[in-house]
Amino acid sequence: MLSFFALSSILLFSSALIAGDAAALADASSIKRRDVSAHGTLTFTYPSPNITRATINNGPVNYVDQFFIADVLDFLTPLQNVSNSTPKVVIFDSSNPHFWIGQIDMTSLATPITTEKKQLGANYVKFTTLLQNITSTIFIAEIDGQAFGAGNEIAAQMDMRFVGPKARTGSFEEALGLIAGGGGQTFLGTIIGKAKAMEYLLAVKTFDGPTGEALGLFNKYYDNSTELKLSVLQLAQRIALFPRVALNQTKAVLSFLDPPSNAFNSDFNAFYEIEQLPEEQANVRKFLELSANQTANRFELGLGESIMALYGLWNGSPTS
């Protein structure tokens, strides 16, 4: 849970807005609009003055690497300083027809623990934490492709998740002998409950659209990609009509439902400890071999069923 001090700080910020501290709001730095992020992993469009659409495009599987993390962190950090140009709603979608956000760059797992690797992890924690702590902006995941591993974890930490016919999400880390340590375990347990979270994490089961909606992981499943995009935009437009103070107050108060940050941090640290074990390193190398170094091949398109190839239990068929 949020600490009393953290929750008090959020509520005090809300109170300041309620009190009409317009001067402070006006003095805050305006957010500079741009078309593309520094490393090119995000492109931005602006359906309305209060809505930003951040479209992901990073490599053949939209993997989470240092460039993607840097770009998302660079985008989110200015949103902490609320101004009239701060978007009320941010929609994250993808230009890749098969992947929303993929796994963490597996080549980073195949290396020893270094200062650079620790910094990569620290920056991941920073940007995912901002998804919860920036209470004046609502973050929506619009998923119409695969989101396994880190992609599933990032989606779970956004405020809402809407999915289309090509959506398939889940965590495959257990099959490697790892854990969904980037928020996947802690947030999934909070969203769908302990028993169901354990079933899907431990057995490496996949959430399709209807199943995820029934379990409460997804707000809504759409069997048509166009309807998904239009419906999410309509929802964002409706939310963006309302005063920012109300959006901020509601998200801030509901933040007490988030899992405790110390549990998240403990899980994340455990991931790096487990990752270096011999069996896990062998599985990482095998993953890179099977995926042809993370290209959109049959193995990647078959996650999470294809991960069973590590145990000789995959028939080689893609599922998307």
What is the pLDDT confidence band of residue 93, given thresholds at 50, 70 and 90?
A: very high
How is residue 149 annotated by DSSP?
A: T
What is the pLDDT confidence band of residue 320, given thresholds at 50, 70 and 90?
A: low
pLDDT in tens, 60-75: 999 999 999 999 999 9
Checking if the pLDDT of 16 tops 60, the result is: no
pLDDT in tens, 209-230: 999 999 999 999 999 999 999 9
pLDDT in tens, 275-284: 999 999 999 9
What is the pLDDT confidence band of residue 21, given thresholds at 50, 70 and 90?
A: very low
Is the peptide bond preceding residue 193 cis, with omega within 30 degrees of 0? Answer: no
User: What integer is the mean pLDDT of 118-130?
Assistant: 93
Least confident of 18-27, 242-251, 253-262: 18-27
Least confident of 17-31, 86-100, 257-271: 17-31
Task: Give strand ranges (E) for the chain.
Answer: 42-48, 51-56, 89-94, 138-143, 146-148, 160-163, 168-170, 207-208, 220-221
Checking if the pLDDT of 146 tops 80, the result is: yes
User: What integer is the mean pLDDT of 35-45?
Assistant: 98
Nearest alpha-carbon partner for 153 in 131, 135, 120: 131
More confident residue, 146 or 19: 146
User: What integer is the mean pLDDT of 194-208?
Assistant: 97
The one-letter code for the residue type at 285 is R
pTM of the model: 0.91
- The SS3 of residue 111 is coil
Checking if the pLDDT of 17 tops 50, the result is: no
pLDDT in tens, 291-308: 999 999 999 999 999 999
| pLDDT for the residue numbered 264 | 87
Q: What mean pLDDT, rounded, does the chain reach?
A: 91
> With the C-alpha atoms ordered 62, 151, 200, 213, is the resulting torsion angle positive or negative?
negative
User: What integer is the mean pLDDT of 31-44?
Assistant: 95
Domains of the chain and any CATH numbers: 4-273 (3.90.226.10)
Least confident of 3-7, 104-108, 114-118, 316-320: 3-7
User: What integer is the mean pLDDT of 147-157?
Assistant: 97
Least confident of 29-38, 126-135, 303-312: 29-38
Checking if the pLDDT of 240 tops 90, the result is: yes
Q: What percent of the chain has pLDDT over 70?
A: 90
The angle subtended at Cα 103 by Cα 175 and Cα 220, nearest 5°, is 95
The angle subtended at Cα 65 by Cα 236 and Cα 270, nearest 5°, is 100
